[in-house]
Amino acid sequence: MALIVQKFGGSSVATAESIKRVAKRIVETRKAGNEVVVVVSAMGDTTDELFDLALSVAPLPSGRELDMLLTAGERISMALLAMAIKSQGQDARSFTGSQAGMMTDAKHGSARIVEVKPTRVRAALDAGAAIVNDISALRFDFYVADAVARAGAGLVLMHSRGTPATMHRLPPVAEIMQEVTHSLRASVKMAERRGVKRESIVIDPGIGFGKSQKQNLELIAKLDQLIAAFPDYPLLIGTSRKSFIGRILADESGKPAPADDRLHGTMATITAAILKGAHIIRVHDVKAAAETIRVTESIRENLRTM
């Protein structure tokens, strides 16, 4: 029996129907004889909507109350998902971050995670997990690198700013390429210093994690520069169904396209990323992405022979 850790972003649980589809996938994994731990984000663009709602009632909302408000998004999605799993015949229980062992300081609005017990990560590795995807690139807990090194597993170091509760409220940095390059370089050094093999490390610029709309697009447009800065490491990118695509595809009233209507926009970002040299693509819609990559790579190969 393996311990499977599944992560579902906001676009994967944006509607009741999508939550039921996710629940079915989880139940199928459980029925295959695996233990399952699920990490889930707020539904769709709920976090952005809640933040906008807070600003509409208070120009300078209390940091504490804003934190309370934004955590409601994850509480909603995790509770609904647990309900959907139970309705399909499997037991499930939801936990908040603190209940799962993630502890922060008391600085509302700019809190830092001060402790994350990596026992779950170690348990997953002991059960045979091959890759650990660290969205903090070891900022939250550098001991994760120790567990990865001992297991000889792969490690994805993803750039992000702040914490999941604060990253959407942070002001944009002046130079996003410099910030991402500097931060990932420090994370790579930390991972290697703690025993992770160079060939086991993958870097990820973290599209949507503490970046502005313009910065997300800039990172995609300049992926080749980031790859040149890290020639020894594969680059992974995840743009699938993200909110910046929804904003680009907004209707005439300015309402962003919902997650389920971002397929073609996602494929456009994948095409751009492949042409800029991305090595690994993280997606929801596997068939569409695979076909997009095949065609894009064919075009790229022809460009090289011209």
Q: Which residues are catalytic?
A: 242, 282
In this structure, how many other beta carbons lie within 10 angstroms of the beta carbon of residue 250? 11
Helix (H) or strand (E) run with residue 276 in it: none
Using alpha carbons only, how large is the chain's radius of gyration in Å?
Answer: 19
- Determine the residue type at 94: S
131-134 and 154-158 as β-strands: parallel, antiparallel, unpaired?
Answer: parallel
Contacts of 262 (CB under 8 A, 6+ apart): 11, 241, 242, 245, 246, 249
CA distances (Å), origin 296, targets 177, 226, 238, 264? 25, 20, 17, 14
| Beta strand residue intervals within 1-136, DSSP E | 3-8, 35-40, 102-104, 113-116, 131-134
Q: What DSSP character marks residue 255? A: P
Burial class (CB in 10 A: 0-12, 13-18, 19+), 301: exposed
Q: Six-digit token pair at 75?
A: 């509480």
Q: Six-digit token pair at 149?
A: 């090194």
